[in-house]
Each structure stands twice: as structure tokens, then as C-alpha cells.
Copies of this chain bind each other. A is one copy, B any other.
Amino acid sequence: MRIYFAQVKKNIGAHSIFLGQVRNDIINQQEVKAIEYSAYNEMAEEKFHEIREDAFKKYDLICMHIYHSMGVVNAGEISLFVFVSSAHRKEAIKACEEIVERIKKEVPVWGKEVFVNENHQWKINS
């Protein structure tokens, strides 16, 4: 079996990718139907930029893409996408993991968990 991939940078040896997805958790017998994300946009953009620059300084990376969904994201849909490419797998894997952890901790984004019955609660990151 061969897998084709539209990638012209032939010095890349590894891509490490993370996708965060909204879960339909049951909390006090209520099912989460969506998370509504909001952000302090100007500060979030600066933080994403800082996280990106730090990763390029710390790891030997070739390219990187970060997307965070905003607004209503239904259960089963993707909220976060981090894609890191490097010559070597260890750099790509470590960088991707670190970027995901920093986004969770440092970027001013808030998730409001909306239940099927339209109640809501504010998400807490683990």
C-alpha cells in the first residue's frame, strides 16, 4: 500500500498532527451538544504567534500550522488543529505536544459547554 500526500518539501521526514474534537459528555445527566468558543482576539493572536516562534527556536522544524475554531462547534467536530513538520520524528512529536499544551494553558480562549436542553456551563481544562 502506498499513501500519497501533497507535500513538496522533500527534506521533511515526519509530520505530527493533533486534532481536538468536541465530546458529547454527559454532565449531571445533561448531554453536551456543542462548545461555543470565544476569545480575547488581539491577545490570543499574540500568544499564538509567541508559541509558534518559541517552537521554531526550540525545535528543528520545517513547517507548522495552528488553527483554533471559534463560535459554536458541535459535538463530533474539530476545535483545534496543530500540524508540525520536521526532518526527524522526535522533534515533530515533542514540538506538537508542547504546542498543544501551551495553547490550552496560555491562549485566552473560553469554551462554553452548551447542553442539549440549552443550559450551559463554562468548560474547565484538565
Q: Which residues of A contact B (CB under 8 A)?
A: 1-5, 7-24, 67-71, 73, 75-79, 81, 87-89, 92-93, 96-97, 100, 126
- Assembly stoichiometry (copies): 2
Sample of 17 further A-B pairs with CB below 8 A, known A16-B16, A16-B19: A2-B71, A3-B67, A5-B78, A7-B21, A7-B76, A9-B76, A12-B23, A13-B20, A13-B23, A14-B18, A14-B20, A16-B18, A17-B17, A18-B93, A88-B126, A89-B100, A93-B97
Q: How far is the CA of A23 from the CA of B68 in the complex (A)?
A: 30
Considering the complex, give the chain B residue whose CB is closest to the CB of A81.
Answer: B3
Sorted nearest first, the 3 A-B pairs with minimum C-beta distance are A17-B17, A10-B24, A15-B19
Bound together, the chains give a CA A17 to CA B20 distance in angstroms of 11
